[in-house]
Amino acid sequence: MFSKSKIHEPGQKAAPETTQTEVPAAPGGFAAPRAKPPVSVLSSDLTITGNVRTTGDIQVEGIVEGDIYAHLLTVGETATIKGEIVADDIVVNGRVVGRVRGLKVRLTSTAKVEGDIIHKTIAIESGAHFEGSVQRQEDPLQGASAPKLAPPTGDGYTG
């Protein structure tokens, strides 16, 4: 349930409004507040080789050589991504070399994309550089391939 503070009479100091949300009790009877996790930021001095997967939001300012899977992906002006990016919402300010798959894709005026874009909705600002094809799909995330994991390595023991 929600609760608000009462309306104050003229001349009285107003107390700050508060809003509470009922949260199911965790084991032991304590309520655990649910907060949205903060945006993960990969800074401009960071280079990652390999795939990145999150169910949250991520902002890339550095270099990623691999695929990125996220909820919201922001590619900063200083960023370079070489690989496929898959997210519900994608904003490209920097450079992407590879396929882009998203429900909402936005290329800003500083974007440089070399690869195909598969989207539900797209916006391309004047000044954006784009080389590739654009394809609209009702569910562009459906055809996204899961990141491939390295096969298990044997220890030489044959049993």
DSSP 88-145: EEEEESSEEES-EEEEEEEE-TT-EEES-EEEEEEEE-TT-EEES-EEE-SSTTTTPP
Query: Among residues of the chain, what percentage have pLDDT more than 90?
Result: 64
Give the Cα separation of 96 and 142 in Å (integer).
21
Per-residue pLDDT tens over the stretch 82-102: 999 999 999 999 999 999 999
Per-residue pLDDT tens over the stretch 20-61: 444 455 555 555 556 777 889 999 999 999 999 999 999 999
Q: Structural domain boundaries of the chain? A: 40-135
pTM of the prediction?
0.69
